[in-house]
Structure 1
Amino acid sequence: MASRFIYILYVSGMTGEGGARLGLHARLGGPALSVWAKHERDSDGWLPLWRHMEDSAAVAGRLWDEWLPLSVRRLIAGELPGGEVDARRLVVWLAGVHDIGKATPAFACQVEQLAQVMRGHGLQMRSRQAMGADRGHAPHGLAGQVLLGEWLQERHGWTVKQAGQFTVAVGGHHGVPPEHGQIQALDGHPHLLRTHGPSRTLWKRVQEELLDACADEFGVRECLAAWRAVKLPQPVQVLLSALVIVSDWIASNPDLFPYFPEDVPRTGPERIAAAWRGLDLPGPWRAKEPVGDVQELFASRFDLPPGAKVRPVQEAAVDLARGMDAPGLMVIEAPMGEGKTEAALAAVEVLAARFGAGGVFFALPTMATGNAMFPRLLNWLDRLPAPEGTRYSVLLAHSKAALNDDFVDLMGKGQRIAAVDVDGFEEREWRPTSPTRSAAAELVAHAWLRGRKKAMLSSFVAGTIDQLLFAGLKSRHLAMRHLAIAGKVVVIDEAHAYDTYMSVYLDRVLSWLGAYRVPVVVLSATLPAGRRRELAQAYAGKATSETAASFDAVAQAGDYPLLTAVTPGGAPVMRRPAASARGTDVELERLDDDVDLLADRLEKELANGGCALVVRNTVRRVLEAAAALRERFGEANVTVAHSCFIDVDRAAKDAGLLDRFGRPGKADRPQAAHIVVASQVAEQSLDVDFDLLVTDLAPVDLLLQRMGRLHRHLRGGEEQTDRPQRLRQARCLVTGVDWSAPVPAPVRGSLAVYGAYALLRSAAVLLPHLDGGRERPVRLPADISPLVQRAYADEPDGPAGWAEALEAARARHEEHRADQAERAATFRLDAAARPGRPLFGWVAAGAGDADDTRQGRAQVRDSRESLEVVVVQRRADGSLATVPWLAPDRKGRPRAGLALPTDQVPTARAARTAASCGLRLPIQFSYADVMDRAIDELEELHIPAWQVKASHWLAGQLILPLDEDCQTHLAGFQLRYSPSDGLEVTRA
């Protein structure tokens, strides 16, 4: 009763503020003041609409002034006659009016006690039950879009089209811009916006009074006439929509913005100041362009070996960035081990400073490569100059980031803030920080930026390419993903690694990045020239008669290393830096596909020691080879690495490879002969160095990537005298093929992974080197580009006797690519339409939510949906525990054999340890019938105690219990796991 009394007094203007009227409250009469916006179900807490309007507008102003990157502000300001002043006013105003749709009967009827107060002020409405299903035609976002559009048309002379490009930010503030059909359906139900009868006029007056008050309070009334002539580009509409969403999410949190009656005494400025202190959101990166020569820049930012000089390609990248007069795309093609990552980060620093980017997103092919990049990103950030007290938000962006120790450390530093509960979209609780608490560490994983829709808003992000591709997928809250990338420099690593399906999304994302004027740096060691042109044109837009010749030159260039740069609408330019002085001649030999023959050859080559890498195209072939080699060389001298290890073991494998086979001076290289048998995990982002390579035939670009792990570093000078004498000449043995057939016949597993066409094209371009033996080595890096360009040229290249096989394989290949492109286009975002066209229907017929889950990743990768499980051990007494071989954590605490009780929530450490033992089951379990059967069997182990909120590490997970011999049966298969070999799957 007391809270209701305070409510009525406040509406009447007789509160503890002593009758003072401030902001919107002073501009409104009783009926308008009675309109409610928020209500707490479990209490009498509520919030009037006028207050939420003020809160949202104030947050938008703070975001503009203190959080939004300069590049985004410039993009919006560039479309308005008053520049940045107009842009800020527009953002604040749209955030202020975004919930005007709550001033309707369709919304207000939801809470009867608050609706009754409004009825007392003349705003009549039927009950929620009486309105029935019709309410679904008037969600308050859509209702607000319609009301604001009417106001602009009737009161300010705007046309429907002119209004739509602004009002769509209101209509789409719950993640999906309305479709034309929804707008038309609401037109047929006007009683949802204003009741029939005498009260209709009062409803309209209140709605207009609120909009008039916002126009005056937020200073846009004098702007509206000039804005009527503006044609907003769709990228600007997207950014405005996203800023409204962020403002609403923050302003909707009752811990930041308490509901009435608790917050009645505070004024608007006091309220926003306290909320902003509590949120404590780190600002954007404000990069300063580095001065001085490139050698000094690299010495200050990276761990250069003593006496190391900057590579020509690195210097060229910085010089090219310094010469760009507009944001653009830069493609860096250079050999493996040439320092492309450092070149990209140095160019990023220059581009961010020149064009106002507020952060970086580094996109990598896999979680493993993302994990490897994250500490390098942190190390670079630690060396960036920044004013004292600067804080940056940092994110590792993939679904298992919370299991990464480096990221967990940062999460602890940013733990003062937790996720905001926004209209039910986020689950975790939020509590604001005390304003008296000391400042956080410079790099923080800010907890408000951890929700799945907000995480990418962090300033510095390393993550999988999926996070970037999601920006090209029609999905809910897509505007948030676009805001996240629009203010950054985007780096795309291993650009050659993405197939046609993924490239359909990537090219569309690049077109939007070009429209946002986002600087992009693309890295590859083995990029086909045709793909180089596609990337450049996707970003720059369709070639014109003036630029066509330049794009043709890009598609024909065979120089290497090569840098290509292009700006939106411009002609590409190329730079041809020299290769670094060091090169490697790799002798190529055929090796018949026989494990005994492989063992014989390695025994001969490693007679005096040395380290060999054997790369197989399937996990089955990895395990077969490893078993044979262990019989010959002993268990301790053969290491296995592939994708079917539990997460914690996979991370340990990568770390172990770096420790033993990494850079000279940092690695403890085995003294005896040692063999690593690996799948494709050895291709990317591991700085490992071997004396001898044996590889299955693969597409030539990937084969060259594998060669990049051969003699990667100098060991004992140019003569490689620290390697065994027999292995001082780099050699690569190519197997996995029946070389005796009239046309080389790759093994079945390789065909399943890569297809016949890519493998035959690879074999064809390698033939001169294979046939010539020691007379015709592959010269790295000189031969990289010629081999790649020949293998991916439009016309097949091979011996006459292969013509028929090549043509048949090509037909199948083109059919597969066409199918990929067609399927990818189903949910692909459209290109930005002409300026002035509203975003109505922008994500219509989309994919729903885009999440970094197995289902979400399958939307942007042409792969079967995979099953992921958490591996635990079932003891003889039936109890569950973490697997028994785990090493202690970084603090020395045990992780092996931790009890996982089924009648209660496990300890946090035990649950997290179990979650770190996630495993993606191989392709056998991706076929529909097998997957369904596997899920049914896994769900038999349903542990209710683990499904509660407190058990977030294990809730919803599929649990795979292994017996004490680390074996089990699943869906007709026998599964065996070992920390040395990973998962082995055989038919039961």
Structure 2
Amino acid sequence: MTYDGLRPIGPVGLSEAARSVWAKHDRDSDGWLPLWRHMADSAGVAGLLWDEWVPEQIRRLVAGALPGGADDARRLAVWLAATHDAGKATPAFACQVEHLADGMRAAGLPMPLEKQIADRRLAPHGLAGQLLIQRWLVERHGWSRPATTQFAVVAGGHHGVPPEDTDIRDLREHPALLCDPDGPEAWRAVQDELLDAAAEACGVASRLADWRGVKLPQPVQVLLTALVIIADWIASNPELFPYFPGERRTDPERLDTAWRMLDLPRPWVAEDTGEDPGALFASRFDLPAGARVHPVQAEAVRVARTMPRPGLMIVEAPMGEGKTEAALAAAEILAARSGAGGCFVALPTMATGNAMFPRLLAWLERLPDARAGAGAHSVFLAHSKAALNERFTELVRAGRPVSDVDRDGEEHRRSRGAAGSAAAELVAHHWLKGRKKGMLSSFAVGTIDQLLFAGLKSRHLALRHLAVAGKVVVVDEAHAYDAYMNSYLDRVLSWLGAYGVPVVVLSATLPAARRRELAESYTGGPAGPAFAPVGEADAYPLITGVAADGVVMAAPEASGRRTDVLVERFDDDLGALAARLETELAGGGCALVIRNTVRRVMETADHLREHFGADGIPVTVAHARFIDPDRAENDARLLALFGPEAKVAEAGETRPERHVVVASQVAEQSLDVDFDLLVTDLAPVDLLLQRMGRLHRHRRGEGRSQRPERLRRARCLVTGADWAARVPEPVRGSRAVYGAHALLRSAAVLEPFLAESDRPVRLPDDISPLVQRAYGPDPVGPDHWREALDHARLAHEAERADKRKRAEDFLLGGVARPGRALVGWVRAGVGDADDTYAGRAQVRDSRESLEVLVVQRRADGTLATLPWLRRDGGRELPAHAVPPTALARTVASCGMRLPYEMCADPRTLDRVIEELEAQCVEAWQAKEAHWLAGELVLALDQDQRAHLAGFDLHYTRSDGLKVSHGD
């Protein structure tokens, strides 16, 4: 690896004083690194990152801001990396290691002892470097001081937080921290000498005059800051760049050895092969024999190719239209057009993220790369429990370092092992891991939180922006987010639009007003008349392509699958429900009952089982209050029994003759299951339509001949409300979850269908009209509902305004005008954004809850894993030692969130935590117990029961966790 013929920063030509300035010190070995060497290392790494790792999409954005284009962009990136630690050439920094400071004093740089330098905390070396660079640009290159800040702030922010105005003012008022008053000229001479050397070595000395009038856009400042952070982290790794003494390699040898050891996967270079949609989908996805590309999928490909420029694409289509595959195919084309080097798919939950991960991998294994010899692509599963995902851990093993390089540059390769063909091409790279670096991988699947964190004022926010700025971003289930989360999503979209990131938004049911909000956020604000159709179109399915210079809209046909659903009011009475199900399923059939709360799921299942008896209709439950392995098996079981015929056959199962599944919202989306009859609590209309999508989802014989005769017409019974009241009254639990406004407007738009027994809801034709009416501004429902609807609307608007106001507390500002420096960019932020429950609560308006790891306490007092687990079930757990790694991992996988009722009151929550901590196994808190340290463990007795903070808990494999108040 070379410096492109430019003179490297080195000791030759530098004064003794400049050579004596130190940058790194290891207290254990007393090894150290001179500043000139770290400057050279950082510059070299930045150049290689720019050439081989930064996606073209980012390089184009930076180049577009500079008069010399691509050449200027590279020079600027390398120079900023070279100079980021200039602030270490100051008394405030150098005094920290006395014997190294003595060497600098001997070379002519006077400085007091560390204890003699008051207010040293005012001069962190990043901020000091920013001020030194600014002074150098003003005094030696004739810049105006305001023009310098937009460049120098990169040095000021390279530790994750750009400085604030008060920080800059305070340091300016203490000049002795930058130049010792006994020898200011000597210090300034060395500072200028190092900065001059960097400018010459990086080829910017001749360009600074042309850059004086540049107004650097904030997105460019952010990306350059992130690049410098990464270059600094790599160049600061002593395993890659050893400290003195003993280092004798030349600059190119040192850089080349480190780069080969790091072995960073290069970005994807997408290529639009030009295939017609049929051929494209056949080559990328596992399509059933004889399957045709859906019109929505074909149109998504066409729009991706014909949009004026890559921008925002919103795909609205009913369930079962293959929106995910459409998004990935569009992403491939948009990446080829934009220069994106990867893709991130954001989903509502960890469960949906885990389900998507293997689908993304299957797509990647078939994805072409235009770069010859592209090698492995880096992959990341972005959520807090990724380490428990088996497929991801395989890729982690594949991504461990594959070569050892000795000090003489000789390379000794190890085999990656027999991890399969996928592991040879897809790896979770050893350096690209953790909450700050993982998302920098080329391809990622994760929760929506990972995207929303890009709108949260937090430390190292620039890295999160770099992670998404080089990708195509896919946002699935866009309708699933409330006003609080949408505040973050909208702000992130405004930054993605400024970066030129292609975004694909997927939704089955999206209100037109929300569609327009998404488009306006992406393009930077309210647009002109050309954007009017975005908020007015009522076609369905609908594809909307939006860029700053125009809109493309397409209304493809839905696929041939259509379902007419008869809807019926049904009393909220468990006895009546049991009798009705017995009647409806007398000739066979499978029914799905969806409740809005887990408590109602439990009560319903208990009553139905008692009614049907042990030999009657089987009743199973599905909800979120299971430990993670059980919930995953429940989902797999639902697919094996009620999924597509091919899936049922693959699982070696047959569809039950009669069965009732009682579920919470987990059955609402992402599971491709099919039922003959649906009973559902009243819910917002978009969610009701999602639930109806589980009715007659698959063909099941010509004319539905394989369904019981009585159930060949799809029917949905809507319950969970007092329909006899003058205005329907939803049950309390539903009001707590969704609010009265959405529930009443849902009931209002469904009223014509509920009132006429033979008027069906036609899917998909009625989806968009119902959603637009329910979420639109016009009055709905009978006149005598008006007062109740108005009251609910006012409460809803107040709550929505409150959510948006609370979201503002840590919400990142919008994109400022070009030339406005990043000073104060994350002022009053949250510190580190962490993918923990508390961290996710910063971007979700979620009720506080608590996760526990569930084990069993046997009669003799010993602890064991739960007996029914497929892996390590019933294994004894040591009480005085850290469990073996595999066993500890099994325990860590058995996470479960306690219900809200146990955590709502702060005093109750404190008591829960106190009692769980009292049961803590001290040995499991050891540092080496990384799977278990810091976790709360709930130990159930032999009967799977526990008493905690006044609550009785009972967990069963069949029903999950039941909670009741104790005596």
Q: Same fold (TM over 0.5)?
A: yes
Given the alignment of the two structures, is residue 803 of structure 1 paired with residue 789 of structure 2, yes or no? no
Mapping for residues 782-931 of structure 1, pairs under 5 Å: 782-888=765-871, 895-927=872-904, 928-931=906-909
| CA 433–799 in structure 1, closer or farther in 2 if over 3 Å, else same | farther
Q: Aligned-pair distance for 1:920?
A: 1.2
Determine if contact 2:455/2:492 at 8 Å carries over to the other structure.
yes
User: Is 2:575 the partner of 1:596?
Assistant: yes
1:727-754 Cα deviation digits (max 9, x unpaired): 2211111111111111111111000000
Q: 1:551 aligns with which of 527, 531, 553?
A: 531
Q: Which amino acid aligns with 2:894?
A: C
| Contact 2:402-2:413 within 8 A present in 1 as well | no
Counterpart residue number, 1:257: 241
Take 1:951 and 1:730, find their aligned partners in 2: how far apart are those partners? 53
Deviation at 1:135, TM superposition (A): 1.0
Given the alignment, which residue of 589, 612, 618 partners 2:597? Answer: 618
Q: Which moved more, 1:916-925 or 1:744-753?
A: 916-925
Which is worse superposed, 688-697 or 379-388?
A: 379-388
Corresponding residue number in structure 1 for 2:170: 185
2:727 corresponds to which of 743, 746, 764: 743
Q: Which residue, 621, 625, 637 being the options, matches 1:640? A: 621
Is the Cα contact below 8 Å between 1:60 and 1:92 reproduced in 2? yes
Name the structure 2 match of 1:761.
745
Indicate the residue corresponding to 1:354 in structure 2: 337
What amino acid does structure 1 have at the position aligned with 2:887?
A
**Are 2:508 and 1:525 aligned?**
yes
Aligned-residue offset at 1:613: 1.1
Please say if residues 149 and 167 of structure 1, whose CA atoms lie closer than 8 Å, have aligned partners that are also in contact. Answer: yes
Answer whether contact 2:382 2:450 (CA < 8 A) is retained. yes
Describe the SS at the equivalent of 2:891. helix
Asked if the contact 2:308–2:550 (Cα under 8 Å) also holds between the matched residues in 1, the reply is no
Which residue of structure 2 lines up, in the alignment, with residue 59 of structure 1?
45
Q: What CA distance in whole angstroms lies between the structure 2 residues aligned with 1:825 and 1:940?
A: 38
User: Gaps spanning 5+ residues in structure 2: where?
Assistant: 1-6, 404-408, 417-422
Shift of 1:970: 1.7
The alpha-carbon deviation at position 155 of structure 1 amounts to: 0.5
Question: Equivalences for 1:35-50 in 2 at 5 Å?
Answer: 35-50=21-36
Name the CA distance, whole Å, in 2 between partners of 1:159 and 1:22: 29
Question: Which string of whole-angstrom CA distances, capped at 9 and with x for unpartnered residues, describes residues 445-504 of structure 1?
Answer: 112111211111011111000000110111110000000000000000011111100000
Report the 3-state secondary structure (helix = DSSP H, G, I; strand = E; otherwise coil) of the residue aligned with 2:158. coil
Report the Cα distance in structure 2 between the residues aligned to 1:187 and 1:699, rounded to whole angstroms.
Answer: 57
Q: Which amino acid aligns with 1:555?
A: G
| Distance in 2, Cα, partners of 1:22 & 1:790 | 66
Choose from 940, 946, 958 the match for 1:980: 958
Moved more, 38-47 or 384-393: 384-393
Equivalent pairs counted in the alignment come to: 940
Instruction: Report what 1:114 is aligned to.
Output: 100
Residues 242, 479 of structure 1: 8 Å contact kept:
yes
2:910 alignment counterpart: 932
Partner AA of 2:611 in structure 1? R
Q: Per-residue deviation at 1:587?
A: 0.8
Q: Does 1:693 align with 2:649?
A: no
What is the match of residue 567 of structure 1? 547
Q: CA deviation at 1:643?
A: 1.0
| Residues 97-118 of structure 1 deviation map (CA, whole Å, 9 limit, x = unaligned) | 1001111111111111211111
Counterparts of 1:898 and 1:104, CA distance in 2: 59
Cα distance in 1 between the residues matched to 2:252 and 2:172: 39
Residue 255 of structure 2 aligns with which residue? Answer: 272
**Which residue number corresponds to residue 306 of structure 1?**
289
Question: What displacement does 1:388 show?
Answer: 5.1
Mapped partners of 1:23, 1:835: distance in 2 = 32
Name which of 183, 187, 195 aligns with 2:180.
195
**One-letter code aligned to 1:946:** W
Spell out the pairing of 1:201-280 with structure 2 (5 A cutoff): 201-262=185-246, 264-280=247-263
Q: 2:886 and 2:63 mapped to 1: Cα distance?
A: 49
Residue from 328, 332, 354 that aligns with 1:371: 354
Distance 2:611 2:344 in 1: 46
SS at match of 1:825: helix
Of 661, 664, 684, which aligns to 2:669? 684
SS in 2 for 1:968: strand
2-structure distance, mates of 1:341, 1:244: 35
Q: CA deviation at 1:185?
A: 0.4
Cα drift, residue 434 of structure 1: 5.8
Give, in whole Å, the separation in 1 of the partners of 2:328 and 2:624. Answer: 28
Q: Deviations over 1:591-616 (max 9, x none)?
A: 11111211111111112222211110
Q: Is 1:959 aligned to 2:959, yes or no?
A: no
- Report % sequence identity: 65
CA shift, 1:389, in A, is 5.7
Deviation digits for residues 615-663 of structure 1, max 9, x if unmatched? 1000000011111122234568222111111111111111111222111
8 A Cα contact 2:8 2:201, kept in partner: no
CA distances 1:305-324 after superposition (whole Å, capped 9, x unpaired): 11111111111100000002
Contact 1:279–1:417 at 8 Å: present in 2 too? no
CA distances 1:251-306 after superposition (whole Å, capped 9, x unpaired): 111111111123x2111111111111111111111111122211010111111111
Per mean C-alpha deviation after superposition, the further-off stretch among 364-373 and 661-670 is 661-670
**Runs (4+) off by over 6 Å:** none
Equivalence for 1:437:
414
1:661 has 2:642 as partner: yes
Q: 1:254 to 1:822 in 2, by over 3 A?
A: same
Give the letter for the 1:577 counterpart. P
Distance 1:832 1:765 in 2: 39
Q: Secondary structure at the match of 2:57?
A: helix
Amino acid at match of 1:355: S
Letter in 2 for 1:206: V
Paired amino acid for 2:926: V
Alignment of 1:95-114 (within 5 A): 95-114=81-100
Equivalent residue letter for 1:911: A
Preserved contact between residue 536 and residue 572 of structure 1 (Cα < 8 Å): no
How far off is 1:438 after superposition?
4.3
Q: Relative to 1, partners in 2 of residues 1:244 and 1:435: Cα closer, same or farther, differing over 3 Å?
A: farther
Q: Residue by residue, what CA displacement relative to the aligned partner does 1:700-745 show, whole Å, maximum 9, x if unpaired?
A: 001101111111111113x111222222211111111111111111
Cα distance, 1:634–1:349 mapped onto 2, change above 3 Å = farther
Summarize the Cα distance change of 1:942–1:120 in structure 2 as closer, same or farther, 3 Å threshold: farther
Task: Indicate yes or no: 2:634 matched with 1:650.
Answer: no
AA of the residue aligned to 2:479: H
TM-align CA RMSD: 1.5
